[in-house]
Amino acid sequence: MIEKPLFNFQARLQDQTIRKVLIVRPGRVGDVLTITPLMRKFHEAYPHVEIHLWTSDYALPIIQDHPLLKDRILVSKHRPSRWKRWIEDRRMVKQVNALQPDMAILLSQRKSDRKVLQRSMIPHVFIPERSSWDEASAKENVVQGFIEALKPLGMQGRAGDLELYYRDDQIMPVQRAFAQAQVDLGQPFAIIHPGCFQLHRKTILSTSMRRLWPSSYFESLAKKLQEELNLPIVLSGHGESEEQLIEGFLKRLPGPTVDGRLLDLQALSACLDRASLLVTLDTGPLHMGAALKTPTVALFGPSSPRSTGPWGSGVHKVLYRGIECSPCRGKSIPCRENVCLTGISVEEVFEACRDVLAHEVT
């Protein structure tokens, strides 16, 4: 049975009655990375507690090597088909029961995840107030919002940087991709991530479509970075639609260009760790770059940088028009012009890149 916060969770954590905690946060890359400061703060407050994480197979590569979670991760399918949902939920109930956690912290908005916890044998489940970490209603960055939401568990203070770990051998795919493009990995280079996860959903009301800066703008920016700043470009993208977009760029860009489609999430982490610049939308690689302190230019339109912007001590610059209808998050408002992003010019982004490369960011 899921309990309301009448049970004194903090006292039970302090007297070490609770020794094994499951954090429930399946989702995409950014969803998982934004709770890493919370995991670190929780570990510092209660070092006796084993922290386990329930995440998705999609986000697993960017969290599986975190030192707090070695051999402590439950994995669910990311967005299983409707007819497989029931089977997947039963499988997750078995995983949770086999783990036998003393407590779960529900940081998911999906009803199916909540039902899994209801059907499991977890003694205690903490469900924090959603307003502080929900993208639509958060008054500050969701990273800090998670800390605020867990105040009843003793969390307090400022959230630290995002954390991302990868294996040393993940530099090898990067070396191969650079060698194939005849680009020296030791020289400064820029990574451009021009798409987002649901690029294939080409409907005018799609949140993800509204998050897109025009591909022609990205192409013009890449050319300017190559020709005026002498920066080789790595084009990053995953999924069929993003990969098709990159294929077109590869044919048209005049300077040295690395095919980032050859890099999985772990290899992309190794590449980001060495990059001089990242230009991206509000999507997973933005948070990967923030975790690795890659100098970043982030383009925001239908989502608010106040709640999901880059977090941490790295160098970054956010371009956001903040027009009257923003942030709409792509919901309910017919929009055929995407003016919140198309209004950001190539020259403006290029100048932001100059500032970030020179660390001249205010």
Q: Which two tokens stand for residue 220?
A: 């013009």
CA-based nearest residue to 315, from 256, 255, 358: 358
Question: What pLDDT is attached to residue 245?
Answer: 85
Whether pTM exceeds 0.75: yes
pLDDT at 233: 98
Beta strands in the chain, from DSSP E residues, in sequence order: 20-24, 50-56, 73-76, 103-106, 124-126, 190-193, 233-235, 257-259, 277-281, 296-300, 316-320
d(CA 75, CA 39): 17
Tell me the pLDDT tens digit for each residue of 127-184.
Answer: 998 888 887 777 899 999 999 999 999 999 999 999 999 999 999 999 999 999 999 9
Which DSSP string do the residues of 82-120 spell out, in sequence order? HHHHHHHHHHHHHHHHHH--SEEEE----HHHHHHHHHS
pLDDT at 205: 46
pLDDT at 126: 95
- Cα dist from 15 to 8, 10, 18, 44, 153, whole Å: 11, 9, 8, 15, 13
**214-233: per-residue pLDDT in tens?**
999 999 999 999 999 999 99
* Number of Cβ atoms within 10 Å of the Cβ of 75: 18
Structural domains in the chain, sorted by start: 9-153 (3.40.50.2000), 168-357 (3.40.50.2000)
Measured CA to CA, the distance from residue 175 to residue 271 in angstroms comes to 9
Q: Omega before 327 cis (within 30°)?
A: yes
Structure tokens at 361: 């960011």
Which strands sit side by side in the sheet containing 233-235, from one edge to the other? 257-259, 233-235, 190-193, 277-281, 296-300, 316-320
DSSP β-ladder status, 296-300 and 277-281: parallel
Lowest-confidence region among 74-78, 155-159, 229-233, 263-267: 74-78
The residue with tokens 């610059």 is 317
Mean pLDDT, the chain, rounded, equals 90
The gap between the terminal CA atoms of the chain, to the nearest Å, is 49
Q: Is the pLDDT of residue 68 over 90?
A: yes
Is residue 191 within 8 A of residue 277, CB to CB? The reply is: yes
